[in-house]
Structure 1
């Protein structure tokens, strides 16, 4: 049984910029989707014209045999992934290692490049479970998706200025043009940096761009700076050279006050109607997550094969990630750490007027579900 890999195209009428066509294979993937978490890191650019096209999944080795106790009824489930080590690898491993088969699941893997379109797809019933980056968390806080697991903590969001812009510090962004996919973790880092520099967002010419467009604009010198994330930062470095980049900051610049969790969320309606299927998915996901952490090199190779993203780019993303195994995740759920992470993020969303108030995290984080399923 192989993943049924779908390429989802969102409902906005905006097109990807022609600059994207000039990018390498990594960014050409953007033409198939929208814009992390993702994100990778859960980014959030507008989507191209609505529609859905189905393509054959990349060849994969035979999955491990499921035990005799595997459920007899096979439940179909539509899962949104992003083509990176966070949003794709658990899905690839779940299939390759037989975890989905063991759980009695038939997974349709649907490709996205950002969080908000995933929530739109959940609202329309097209998606049941999705990976999101930190930037789309506010939509969960609005009640549009229940967080069921923490994929990892992201440190790969970065703000890069061009050398010719003469930007050397956050305060130098005043009056400059910055490309960023809005509603993403990249925008969150940008806004924190603007505040750190004693500026207001209105002091900066912030231009909303999709992922490929933002990278292309930076490479071609059409913007002074860009707020983007790994593995797309690796593409920028490859295109212009590290010596021509001025890095203003990343997630770690704002640790420990702000931590940036990447999550797996479930459609609230699907959770209500089919809680046992969600539990099956969570069991398989946890096994895949733990396997990923113990077998990074193999996971990179399998993910590269499935997503067609170069291994070097995926390796760079691993270096900007703090992984969380099942045992540690249980502890974080039990002691309330997870709730603190999300409620701190919400403060940023309130400041950015995406939320009117901080919503108690236990309203949208399904702590009890994780603790019930993962022993």
Structure 2
């Protein structure tokens, strides 16, 4: 029989807790920030509770992620009747990351999708047209263990860092390395899924980790905040880099059925403002739909900068939104996801949102 060490016990506890949280692999992106390419779940169709839409209404296949960014507008759109009012019905299909959504979009199975910052490069490649900004992510963080001796970005040289590659967590790590005068090749970067990265940090198998909320809160709970060195998060790089989470339409669907995209965004704007004004109710409804614990969703709320419709319309108009995405593209060029920066107006459609707000 194997003797359980203290580290092994911590690993077991962290893994057990994480198993109940894996629905939040979006990432911010993904999200997480999980707009990255790893940990994609096989899509399954489900629909929020609410009054059923008439069967003769046109149907839109929408990819969602089980969190406050990628689910809540769908839940509220159904619960509050916004989709029905707009004259559409939504078939909600669950995903856990952006790339599989865009693949499904390319095959014609998905018409509109939510993506985190990490999948923005796919829109820049012409695989999706951004029609709304869901929110700005501030929950990606890089943690180092106290025993590693890491106190600043430059101290990561030669150290081992766990990160789910292709996510906004990796983007924050790369920005931090640049800030510390390092290159990714100066660090031993291990590509891990979310659960593996958190467990490796808790058990001391890596010196640092690049991850996002609510997993950062779980790390602090298991390890102890006093034993963690926080090197930085999204806000460390504001305003040069902002991390928008978006709703994208299939370019083909937008071209062939622009009226349906317009109706979806019209309903989405109502859900967006309702979410901001009634966040506690939004958390409860989203938890019921996604089966993600309310406490986990509340953590995500705390690491999100929400944009009401008026503020978003202004940022579309004055070019701020385009600047956000073109700055992110520079990061994608650096990591090889893009060959060059594409003008944002090639993959961002501001007219759809602005028309929806005016209506």
Q: Tell me if TM exceeds 0.5.
A: yes
Superposed counterparts of 1:12-27, under 5 Å:
22-27=16-21
Superposed counterparts of 1:143-292, under 5 Å:
143-292=126-275
When normalised by structure 1's length, the TM-score is 0.86
Q: Residues of 1 paired with 2:200 and 2:251: CA distance?
A: 38
Q: Residues of 2 paired with 1:281 and 1:39: CA distance?
A: 22
Identify if the C-alpha distance between structure 1 residues 350 and 51 changes in structure 2 by more than 3 Å, giving closer, same or farther: closer
Find the residue that maps to 1:153 and give its secondary structure: strand
Q: How far apart are residue 370 of structure 1 and its match?
A: 1.6
Tell me the equivalent position of 1:36.
28
What number of residue pairs does the alignment pair up? 347
Task: Give yes or no for contact 2:26–2:34 (8 Å, CA) kept in 1.
Answer: no
Tell me the equivalent position of 1:305.
288
Find the residue that maps to 2:61 and give its secondary structure: strand
Identify if the C-alpha distance between structure 1 residues 51 and 244 changes in structure 2 by more than 3 Å, giving closer, same or farther: same
Q: Residues of 2 paired with 1:292 and 1:42: CA distance?
A: 21
Identify if the C-alpha distance between structure 1 residues 157 and 144 changes in structure 2 by more than 3 Å, giving closer, same or farther: same
Task: Give yes or no for contact 1:152–1:263 (8 Å, CA) kept in 2.
Answer: yes
Tell me the equivalent position of 1:13.
none
Q: Residues of 2 paired with 1:208 and 1:332: CA distance?
A: 35
Q: Which runs of 4+ in 1 moved over 6 A?
A: none
Task: Give yes or no for contact 1:158–1:186 (8 Å, CA) kept in 2.
Answer: yes
Q: Residues of 1 paired with 2:289 and 2:114: CA distance?
A: 16
Among 96, 100, 104, the alignment partner of 2:87 is 104
Between 236-245 and 298-307, report the one with greater CA deviation. Answer: 236-245
Q: Residues of 2 paired with 1:295 and 1:51: CA distance?
A: 31
Q: Residues of 2 paired with 1:51 and 1:86: CA distance?
A: 19
1:354 aligned onto 2:348:
no
Tell me the equivalent position of 2:106.
123
Q: Residues of 2 paired with 1:53 and 1:83: CA distance?
A: 12
- What runs of 5+ residues in structure 1 fail to find an aligned partner? 1-17
Tell me the equivalent position of 1:341.
324
When normalised by structure 2's length, the TM-score is 0.89
Task: Give yes or no for contact 1:40–1:84 (8 Å, CA) kept in 2.
Answer: no
Find the residue that maps to 1:40 and give its secondary structure: strand
Q: Residues of 1 paired with 2:289 and 2:14: CA distance?
A: 21
Q: Residues of 2 paired with 1:84 and 1:338: CA distance?
A: 23
Task: Give yes or no for contact 1:85–1:314 (8 Å, CA) kept in 2.
Answer: yes
Root-mean-square deviation (Å): 2.4
Task: Give yes or no for contact 2:32–2:169 (8 Å, CA) kept in 1.
Answer: no
Q: Residues of 1 paired with 2:313 and 2:189: CA distance?
A: 39
Task: Give yes or no for contact 2:27–2:33 (8 Å, CA) kept in 1.
Answer: no
Find the residue that maps to 2:305 and give its secondary structure: strand
Q: Residues of 2 paired with 1:22 and 1:44: CA distance?
A: 24
For 1:326-368, what per-residue CA distance to the aligned partner results, in whole angstroms no more than 9, with x for missing partners? 1111111111111111111111111222211111100000112
Among 17, 23, 38, the alignment partner of 1:46 is 38
Q: How far apart are residue 237 of structure 1 and its match?
A: 2.3
